[in-house]
Homo-oligomer: A and B are copies of this chain.
Amino acid sequence: MNTLGNRLKVTVFGQSHAPSIGCVVEGLPAGFAPDMERLNAFMARRAPGRNGWSTPRQERDKPEILSGLVEGRTCGAPVAMVIRNSDQHSRDYSGLRRTPRPSHADYTATVKYGESYDIRGGGQFSGRLTAPLCFAGGLALQLLERQNVTIAAHIDRIADISDTAPDFARVSQPDLAALLQKPFPVFSDEAGIKMRQAIEAARMDCDSVGGVIRCFAVGLPAGVGEPMFAGVENRLAGALFGIPAVRGVSFGTGFAAAGMRGSQHNDPLVMEGGRVATRTNHAGGAVGGITNGMPLVVNVAVKPTASIAKEQDTVDLETGEPAKLVIHGRHDPCIVPRAVPVVEAVTALTLLDMLPRG
């Protein structure tokens, strides 16, 4: 349900307007002293209000550690963390219950949980719940680094503007390090400017835009993953669809593979630096569910933010009549930039869970 992972397990809790959100992280190795400054910096990449393309809300996503750390070091017990919800508007949400927002969980959650569903701010379906995921994922990223695995994502596409795609077979740890330095992580800064313009244009139109995030993991050993239903692809997809607004997950060349011939899509094996590699990397680093030592490449499609300021059609659940809805409040015209660290976090958690203990 709200739990991700097997040996490394994260349980997320909270609603947008509950007293707190947070998580419990089980299975971290004992004796690990997380770099809290870097962890906070990582979490800040997800936080809203940092710049022009995200909501001006001020969250103070200051994680408070409740257990599992003694003098800054994991002790083997679960690490529990909470973030207090301070910036809650006490306005009336009862209208939403009556006229559900299109493409929000308002309606499906009401069917599932009935009138008791916490609709305030999207309740447990709020994007705010990704903050604890970033906390846990930030820990995982630091642990992966020790095993020489680097994870970073770029914004591959927003609206109809695409970033330059790197050669999947050549993407390197320095490439990823450079990406992680950028406030708006794209390979082509020119494309980045146009993307931000597209976001701004959507905002001007009281509308929103979607995009694609592509995440890389470099440094993974070959041989990670189990066959059939526990492969790297299964596990990553099963996890990444847990991020709100994700509508598709693919690996390497992904859906474009459908239009290719086998002779184009197959990745010829080559020797490189004394080890087996592949000349191309259409597979995205995993074959048969098992990593082959090439960069892992996973693409994540993100729908346009459902909350738009434009008037929309819905129904009044009480009367059964058509109704018009205008969503108030501050919403990102494009969630993609803030979702980048979330994708990295979930990828890190899943891969660390699958890696043999190092």
How many protomers of this protein does the assembly include?
Answer: 4
Residues of chain B with a CB closer than 8 A to A260's CB: 209-210, 303-304
A-side interface mostly: mixed
A185 at the interface (CB under 8 A from B): no
Residues from 101 to 140 in A contacting B, C-beta threshold 8 Å: 102-105, 107-109, 111-118, 120, 123-125, 129
A330 → chain B closest CB, angstroms: 15
A105 and B290 contacting across the interface, CB-CB below 8 Å: yes
Residues from 312 to 328 in A contacting B, C-beta threshold 8 Å: 312-315, 317, 320-322
Interface code A187-209, partner B: CB below 8 Å = 1, 0 otherwise? 00000000000000010010111
A68 → chain B closest CB, angstroms: 7
A241 and B233 contacting across the interface, CB-CB below 8 Å: yes
Name the segment of A45-53, A174-182, A265-273 touching the other chain. Answer: A265-273
Residues of chain B with a CB closer than 8 A to A104's CB: 287-288
Q: Which of B76, B209, B257, B307 contacts A210 (CB 8 A)?
A: B257
Residues of A in contact, count (CB < 8 Å) = 146
Q: Which of B269, B288, B322 contacts A314 (CB 8 A)?
A: B269
A292 and B107 contacting across the interface, CB-CB below 8 Å: yes
Q: List 30 A-B pairs, Cβ < 8 Å.
A: A1-B228, A1-B230, A18-B70, A19-B67, A20-B67, A30-B117, A73-B116, A75-B113, A77-B124, A102-B266, A103-B282, A108-B288, A111-B222, A111-B290, A158-B258, A160-B259, A202-B261, A209-B262, A229-B239, A229-B242, A233-B241, A237-B237, A237-B249, A238-B238, A254-B301, A258-B303, A264-B304, A265-B304, A271-B320, A282-B303
- 5 extra A-B contacts, CB within 8 A, seeds A249-B250, A271-B322: A11-B78, A18-B70, A70-B118, A247-B253, A271-B320
